[in-house]
């Protein structure tokens, strides 16, 4: 890896940085990934500190595993439905205002992590660029979930709790509309 | 305040995660963005001089060909001349209508990551400039161009420059390791900003000049020094950097300003638009810098709420930053004395 | 501690900055259909009958007071999504556009009269509107890769219209503001009547 820069130089020094930023922002610009990560972040945040401490490492691990196995998956399936479903379930729990049992949040975090990881599989020209891209996606996704979880965790005032529920309800509504549309168009 | 201190702890962890990954894998990444440059000067009613300067990347010419529409006729066919670090191509064309609406294509640009700076000067004093990117490798000469679109172009260039200039970001990150509260953070960042604005301005106007490679080597050493100070701070020692981080930020900020100026002067801008371009390039740099700080603080604060991060993390962060900076320093010194000379 | 709010806002601004500056990144989004967001976001804003009715919902929420004011923005998008699903599977629903215009009249009148019916009745009126609203748009969802962002933009725009209504409705804390809010209700009812009778 330390010898790589010579290759990178040929096209200009900053090429790898471009791959890094593209990977970093991938979870933010792909709507389904964003939806799933926001929902899971809100869920573990509202489920309390213990859920965060369990959920974030599980999500990170699942994402890393999925991203790492990307080269082995020859035909990546469209993960949008899985992402929307994970978002729907997570956000629905937040909307009700209930506290989910820890094993449920852990499972959802794992599903969301795997789905995001498979969906964001790096499509770079070189192994080096793919590694950089995937690592950046992992960093961006985990950072996003951490921030959202912390916001959910700190939502102590009444209006803040309502705010998280409103946001969750928006996510549920979007996911329901999307999933219903997929269902309808597949049966026709 | 205790919460803030702990938040900073986490900030370091993240700073290291982001920058260390880039730095370790991509030691070459901290070099300047070197755009290609196209200048068109009107000499009389129908004739234009065209100057096309492309950077050499590791001695290789940029694989981009300038393509003009068939409506223009060449009075002087393209002639190439090698310069240190770049190739200069000159030609004279004849074209109607002030060039307005002329479409110039940069064939092959989309396969590179190089930007092209385009500059058109008409005899009546009118000017147009633009930055052409690989995603849209052509330029259409406008009838009129507002100053605001020029300003906005340079604003964007400034943001890009700082976000892609990892050594500057790493320096800011290492300062954040030493700073322990809001007031000192604001003071330190302000001092850094003022200092690099001063030297950026002086160097861009050509009042002060420093050769690029030694500046880059010193920038790497400045990061190393601040990282070392951060480790000393964790050991409970006192020093100038630890007591007054903004003094150090100001001093090294002067140095980093020369680094930014390298990017600006590489563009070879004419004097008329320079104050505007400089102002907005600098504003862009500040926006990028504050973005970086805000992103690090946001994640760090959040992580601190959830996980326990302590002194070992801070020390590890300082060592991580120091290692990368040391590598850069060696690499750049090597480039000066053994590999390339003073360019 | 408001620190986290500032930081979150800062990170958001930063993110948008990077997005604006980095054309290569905008590509990633476009490939995955981030463009659908703008389309979806604009959709509810382009139908004036929908807009006034949704603002009326927000205004009325203020007069209804707690708990309606905060139950409303949570439940409305869900009922609306249900309506959207009805639209997609083509559940027979009579005269949708008339229903929307009628709901604008009813909601506008409720605001104008500062009506305070029992919660179940308010929920019924608002819920009926939500079903009609979702139904009208559900059929128009694009069957493309950008359906997710379209749905998101659509829901967010609707939610923001509510919040506008609630925000304006908060003027009702002062007597003069209360008058202004009720006057807005009258205007909405009149506009709804115009849509209903086919003038507009």
> What domain range is A109 assigned to?
16-181
Quick check: C10 and B298 CB within 8 A? yes
Taking the C-alpha atoms of residue B87 and residue A155, their distance in angstroms, rounded to an integer, is: 59
Measured in degrees and rounded to the nearest 5, phi and psi for residue B32 equal -70, 155
User: What is the location of CATH 2.60.40 in chain B?
Assistant: 36-143
Q: Residue B98 has which token pair?
A: 């002030």
Closest CA of chain A from C198, distance in Å: 30
Q: For residue C73, list chain A residues with Cβ-Cβ distance below 8 A.
A: 162, 166, 169
Residue A111 domain-assigned (yes or no): yes
Over the stretch C87-142, which tens digit does the pLDDT of each residue have? 888 777 777 778 788 888 888 898 888 888 888 888 888 888 888 888 887 767 66
Query: In the A/C pair of chains, how many CB contacts fall below 8 A?
Result: 117
* B27 touches A: beta carbon within 8 Å: yes
Quick check: C4 and B302 CB within 8 A? yes
Q: What is the pLDDT of residue B23?
A: 45
* B163 touches A: beta carbon within 8 Å: yes
Q: Which residues of C touch A (CB under 8 A)?
A: 4, 8, 11, 15, 18-19, 22, 24-26, 28-29, 32-34, 36-37, 70, 73-75, 77-78, 80-82, 84-85, 88-89, 138, 141, 143, 145-149, 151-152, 154-156, 159
- The topology under which CATH files domain B36-143 is Immunoglobulin-like (2.60.40)
Quick check: A149 and B112 CB within 8 A? no
Quick check: B306 and A147 CB within 8 A? no
Query: In the B/C pair of chains, how many CB contacts fall below 8 A?
Result: 50
Residue A6 domain-assigned (yes or no): no
Q: What is the pLDDT of residue A59?
A: 96
Q: What is the secondary structure of B147-175 as a DSSP string?
A: HHHHHHHHHHHHHHHHHH-HHHHHHHHHH
Closest CA of chain A from B311, distance in Å: 20
Q: What is the pLDDT of residue A115?
A: 92
Over the stretch C158-182, which tens digit does the pLDDT of each residue have? 888 888 888 888 887 788 888 888 8
Q: Where are the beta strands (DSSP E) in chain B?
A: 36-42, 47-57, 60-61, 65-67, 73-83, 86-94, 103-107, 116-121, 127-132, 138-140
Taking the C-alpha atoms of residue B208 and residue B261, their distance in angstroms, rounded to an integer, is: 10
For chain B, list the contacting chains (3+ Cβ pairs, <8 Å). A, C
CB C25 within 8 A of CB A21: yes
CB B9 within 8 A of CB B314: yes
**Domain locations along chain C:** 1-31, 33-197
pLDDT means over runs of 10, chain B (343 residues): 51 53 42 72 84 80 83 84 83 80 84 83 72 83 68 80 83 86 87 90 81 84 90 82 85 87 64 75 88 88 84 85 88 77 46
CB B163 within 8 A of CB B19: no
Q: What is the secondary structure of chain C as a DSSP string?
A: --HHHHHHHHHHHHHHHHHHH-HHHHHHHHHTTTHHHHHHHHHHHH-HHHHHHHHHHHHHHHHH-TTHHHHHHHHHHHHHHHHHHHHHTT---S-HHHHHHHHHHHHHHHHHTT----HHHHHHHHHHHHHHHHHHHHTT---STTHHHHHHHHHHHHHHHHHHHHHHHGGGGSHHHHHHHHHHHHHHHHHHHHHHHT--
Taking the C-alpha atoms of residue A19 and residue A14, their distance in angstroms, rounded to an integer, is: 9
The dihedral built from the CA positions of residue A5, B105, B95 and B97, taken in this order, carries a sign that is negative
For chain A, list the contacting chains (3+ Cβ pairs, <8 Å). B, C
Q: What is the pLDDT of residue A155?
A: 85
Q: Which residue of B has its CA nearest to C21?
A: B156
CB A175 within 8 A of CB A35: yes
Quick check: C10 and B163 CB within 8 A? no
Q: Residue C115 has which token pair?
A: 């009506």
Quick check: B302 and C13 CB within 8 A? no
Name which of A16, A131, A153 is nearest B29 (Cβ-Cβ): A16
Most C CBs within 10 Å: which of A12, A171, A177, A179, as the mutation test of the C interface? A177
Measured in degrees and rounded to the nearest 5, phi and psi for residue B272 equal -60, -45
Mapped onto helix, strand or coil, the DSSP state of residue B93 is strand
Question: In degrees, to the nearest 5, what angle opens at C-alpha B309 toward C-alphas B307 and B315?
Answer: 155
Q: What is the pLDDT of residue B339?
A: 65
Q: What is the pLDDT of residue C2?
A: 47
Output the tens digit of pLDDT for each of chain A's 188 residues: 222 232 222 222 334 677 888 888 889 888 889 999 999 999 999 998 999 999 999 999 999 999 988 777 766 677 888 999 999 999 999 998 888 888 999 999 999 999 999 888 877 667 778 888 898 999 999 999 999 999 998 888 888 888 899 999 999 999 998 888 888 877 76
pTM over 0.80: no
Taking the C-alpha atoms of residue B151 and residue B130, their distance in angstroms, rounded to an integer, is: 10
Q: What is the pLDDT of residue A60?
A: 95
Question: What does pLDDT average to over chain C?
Answer: 77
CB C41 within 8 A of CB C159: no
Give Cα B313 distance to the centre of its chain.
30
Task: Provide the number of structural domains found in chain A.
Answer: 1
Name which of A4, A136, A146 is nearest B299 (Cβ-Cβ): A146
Give Cα A113 distance to the centre of its chain.
6
Q: For residue A147, list chain C residues with Cβ-Cβ distance below 8 A.
A: 8, 11
Respond yes or no on whether the N-terminal peptide bond of residue C193 is cis (omega within 30° of 0).
Answer: no
Residue A187 domain-assigned (yes or no): no
Quick check: B298 and A147 CB within 8 A? yes
Q: What is the pLDDT of residue B1?
A: 41
């Amino acid at each position: 890896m330390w010898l790589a820069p010579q290759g990178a130089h040929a096209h200009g020094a900053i090429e790898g940085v471009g791959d890094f930023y593209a990977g970093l922002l991938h979870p933010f610009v792909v709507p389904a990934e964003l939806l799933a990560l926001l929902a899971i972040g809100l869920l573990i945040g509202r489920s309390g500190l213990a859920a965060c401490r369990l959920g974030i490492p599980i999500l990170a691990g699942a994402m890393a595993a999925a991203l790492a196995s990307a080269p082995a998956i020859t035909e990546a399936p469209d993960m949008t439905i899985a992402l929307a479903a994970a978002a729907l379930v997570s956000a629905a729990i937040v909307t009700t205002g209930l506290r989910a049992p820890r094993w449920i949040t852990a499972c959802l975090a794992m599903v969301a992590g795997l789905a995001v990881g498979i969906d964001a599989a790096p499509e770079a020209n070189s192994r080096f660029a793919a590694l950089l891209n995937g690592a950046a996606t992992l960093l961006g996704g985990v950072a996003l979930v951490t921030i959202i979880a912390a916001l959910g965790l700190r939502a102590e005032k009444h209006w803040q709790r309502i705010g998280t529920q409103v946001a969750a309800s928006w996510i549920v509504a979007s996911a329901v509309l999307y999933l219903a549309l997929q269902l309808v168009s597949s049966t026709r | 305040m205790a919460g803030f201190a702990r938040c900073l702890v986490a900030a370091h962890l993240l700073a290291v995660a982001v920058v260390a990954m880039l730095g370790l894998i991509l030691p070459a990444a901290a070099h300047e963005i070197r755009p290609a440059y196209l200048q068109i000067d009107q000499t009389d009613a129908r004739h234009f001089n065209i100057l096309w300067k492309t950077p050499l990347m590791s001695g290789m010419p940029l694989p981009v060909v300038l393509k003009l529409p068939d409506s223009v006729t060449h009075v002087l066919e393209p002639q190439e001349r090698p310069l240190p670090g770049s190739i200069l191509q000159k030609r004279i064309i004849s074209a109607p209508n002030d060039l307005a609406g002329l479409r110039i294509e940069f064939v092959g640009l989309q396969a590179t990551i190089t930007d092209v700076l385009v500059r058109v000067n008409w005899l009546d004093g009118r000017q147009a400039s633009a930055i052409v990117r690989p995603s849209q490798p052509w330029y259409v000469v406008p009838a009129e161009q507002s100053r605001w679109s020029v300003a906005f172009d340079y604003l964007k260039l400034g943001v890009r420059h700082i976000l892609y200039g990892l050594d500057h970001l790493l320096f800011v990150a290492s300062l954040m390791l030493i700073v322990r509260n809001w007031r000192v953070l604001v003071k330190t960042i302000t001092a850094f900003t003022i200092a690099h604005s001063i030297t950026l301005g002086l160097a861009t106007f050509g009042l002060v000049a420093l050769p690029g490679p030694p500046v880059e080597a010193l920038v790497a050493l400045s990061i190393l020094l601040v990282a070392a100070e951060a480790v000393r701070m964790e050991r409970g020692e006192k020093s100038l950097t630890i007591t007054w981080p903004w003094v150090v930020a100001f001093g090294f900020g002067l140095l980093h300003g020369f680094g930014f100026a390298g990017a600006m002067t590489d563009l070879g801008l004419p004097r008329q638009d320079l104050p505007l371009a400089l102002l907005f390039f600098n504003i862009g740099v500040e926006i990028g810098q504050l973005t970086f700080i805000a992103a690090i603080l946001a994640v760090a604060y959040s992580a601190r709420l959830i996980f326990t991060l302590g002194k070992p993390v801070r020390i590890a962060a300082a060592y991580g930053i120091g290692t990368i900076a040391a590598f850069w320093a060696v690499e750049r010194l090597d480039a000066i004395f053994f590999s390339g000379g003073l360019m | 501690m408001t620190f986290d709010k500032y930081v979150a806002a800062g990170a958001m601004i930063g993110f948008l900055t990077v997005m604006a500056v980095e054309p290569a990144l905008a590509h990633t989004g476009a490939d995955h259909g981030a463009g659908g967001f703008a389309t979806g976001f604009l959709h509810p804003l382009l139908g004036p009958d929908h807009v006034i009715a949704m603002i009326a919902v927000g205004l009325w929420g203020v007069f209804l007071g707690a708990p309606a004011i905060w139950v409303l923005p949570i439940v409305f998008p869900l009922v609306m999504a249900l309506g959207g699903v009805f639209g997609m599977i083509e559940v027979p629903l009579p005269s949708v556009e008339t229903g929307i215009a009628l709901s604008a009249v009813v909601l506008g009148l409720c605001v104008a009269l500062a009506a305070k019916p029992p919660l179940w009745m308010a929920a019924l009126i608002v819920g009926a509107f939500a079903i009609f609203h979702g139904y009208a748009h559900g059929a128009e969802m694009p069957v493309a890769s950008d359906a997710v962002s379209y749905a998101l933009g659509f829901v967010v725009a609707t939610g923001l219209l509510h919040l506008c209504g609630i925000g304006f409705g908060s003027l009702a804390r002062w007597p003069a503001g209360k008058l202004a809010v009720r006057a807005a209700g009258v205007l909405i009812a009149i506009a709804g009547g115009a849509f209903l009778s086919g003038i507009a």
